[in-house]
């Protein structure tokens, strides 16, 4: 399916402007997106996910204190030369891996006025094409492709597509929540309404928006006209709600994701991410699994 898709979507916008206060003091001088997940910073997984889905023009919407992200994706000649001189080709390859083969761009979100505002900062770069937004905190397991499915749904229906995941009711207040109707395709729903971070007793469903969106460019005009919402911030969820209700910029569909997603902005989830990805690694996995089995067996109840 992906091979036959007409390539109308080539740009990705990755939002990394958050302060990372849940990880203080680690994030006092280091962006939270640079925290390592095994041996790669979290943001590298996100950029690689975009590139793997064929989105090779990636704009990172950053904020203050995020210079380390730019440095990470740049070449580091000093380090490369030193490793070359030592003949350490394995580590050299790993350093070069991080200068991904995408066309990377950066823009700053001057005021932290919410996710909708961060997306609006990408308007000039994106232009009039549909584009993908990836939230830098959300890590989708590389073994469970999600963007490909969203791109396929977009190729068939146009409009916008959001990624959804069923979450326990007591978690829904942490997410944008969708009221949706089934379609004749498994795990593809039509979005009727959206609400940002509802209380559990008012949530229209248990379908949470996770951090992947494929947006019609009309979203920029809608965002410009969107008043601050929850938390006094301009919410992307509110703009999508307007679009779903009016249909003016095409339909809004949801893809219900049943794979593995990690919130690396949450400390407990971050630990789970590191363990989940480390046990599967060819190099570290066998030894780590062995140690983990013993460790778990000896854990006090």
Query: Where along the sequence are the contacts to ligand G1P (CB under 6 A)?
Result: 115, 135, 138, 175-176, 196, 208-211, 235, 237
Prior bond of 173 cis (ω within 30°): no
Task: Give the nearer residue to ligand G1P in terms of CB position, either 55 or 134.
Answer: 134
In angstroms, the first-to-last Cα distance of the chain is 48
Task: Give the nearer residue to ligand G1P in terms of CB position, either 27 or 98.
Answer: 27
Task: Give the nearer residue to ligand G1P in terms of CB position, either 67 or 171.
Answer: 171
- Nearest-approach distance from CB 123 to ligand G1P, in angstroms: 18
- Nearest-approach distance from CB 217 to ligand G1P, in angstroms: 20
Place of tokens 């959804």: 164
- Nearest-approach distance from CB 12 to ligand G1P, in angstroms: 16
Residue with the CB atom nearest ligand G1P in the bound state: 176
How far apart are alpha carbons 25 and 289 in whole angstroms? 30
How far apart are alpha carbons 187 and 169 in whole angstroms? 19
- Nearest-approach distance from CB 135 to ligand G1P, in angstroms: 5
Q: Where are the beta strands (DSSP E) in the chain?
A: 11-15, 36-37, 40-41, 57-62, 103-108, 131-135, 138-140, 160-166, 176-182, 188-196, 207-215, 252-256, 261-263
Task: Give the nearer residue to ligand G1P in terms of CB position, either 83 or 252.
Answer: 252
Which residues does residue 208 pair with via DSSP β-bridges, in sequence order? 165, 177
Task: Give the nearer residue to ligand G1P in terms of CB position, either 115 or 215.
Answer: 115
Considering only CA atoms, which of 122, 129, 115, 265 is closest in space to residue 194?
115
- Nearest-approach distance from CB 197 to ligand G1P, in angstroms: 7
How far apart are alpha carbons 214 and 236 in whole angstroms? 12
- Nearest-approach distance from CB 138 to ligand G1P, in angstroms: 5
Q: What is the DSSP letter of 284?
A: T
Task: Give the nearer residue to ligand G1P in terms of CB position, either 56 or 233.
Answer: 233
């Amino acid at each position: 399916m992906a091979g036959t898709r007409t390539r109308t979507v080539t740009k990705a916008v990755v939002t990394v402007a958050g302060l990372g206060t849940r990880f203080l003091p680690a994030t006092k001088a280091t962006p939270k997106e640079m925290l390592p997940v095994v041996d790669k910073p979290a943001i590298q997984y996100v950029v690689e996910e975009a590139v793997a889905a064929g989105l090779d023009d990636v704009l990172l919407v950053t904020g203050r204190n995020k210079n380390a992200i730019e440095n990470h994706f740049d070449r580091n000649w000093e380090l490369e030369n030193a490793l070359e001189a030592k003949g350490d080709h394995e580590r050299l390859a790993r350093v070069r891996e991080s200068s991904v083969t995408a066309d990377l761009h950066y823009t700053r979100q001057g005021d932290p006025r919410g996710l909708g505002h961060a997306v609006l900062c990408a308007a000039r770069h994106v232009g009039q094409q549909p584009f993908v937004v990836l939230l830098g905190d959300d890590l989708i397991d590389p073994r469970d492709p999600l963007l490909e499915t969203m791109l396929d749904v977009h190729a068939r229906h146009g409009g916008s597509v959001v990624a959804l995941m069923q979450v326990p009711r007591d978690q829904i207040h942490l997410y944008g929540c969708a009221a949706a109707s089934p379609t004749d395709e498994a795990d593809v729903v039509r979005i009727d309404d959206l609400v940002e971070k509802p209380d559990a007793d008012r949530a229209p469903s248990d379908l949470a928006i996770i951090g992947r969106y494929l947006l019609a460019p009309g979203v920029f005009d809608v965002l410009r006209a969107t008043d601050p919402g929850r938390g006094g911030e301009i919410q992307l969820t509110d703009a999508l709600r307007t679009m779903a209700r009016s249909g003016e910029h095409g339909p809004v569909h949801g893809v219900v994701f049943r794979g593995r997603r990690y919130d690396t902005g949450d400390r407990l989830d971050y630990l789970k991410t590191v363990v989940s990805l480390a046990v599967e690694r060819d190099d570290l996995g066998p030894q780590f699994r062995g140690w983990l089995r013993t460790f778990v067996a000896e854990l006090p109840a």
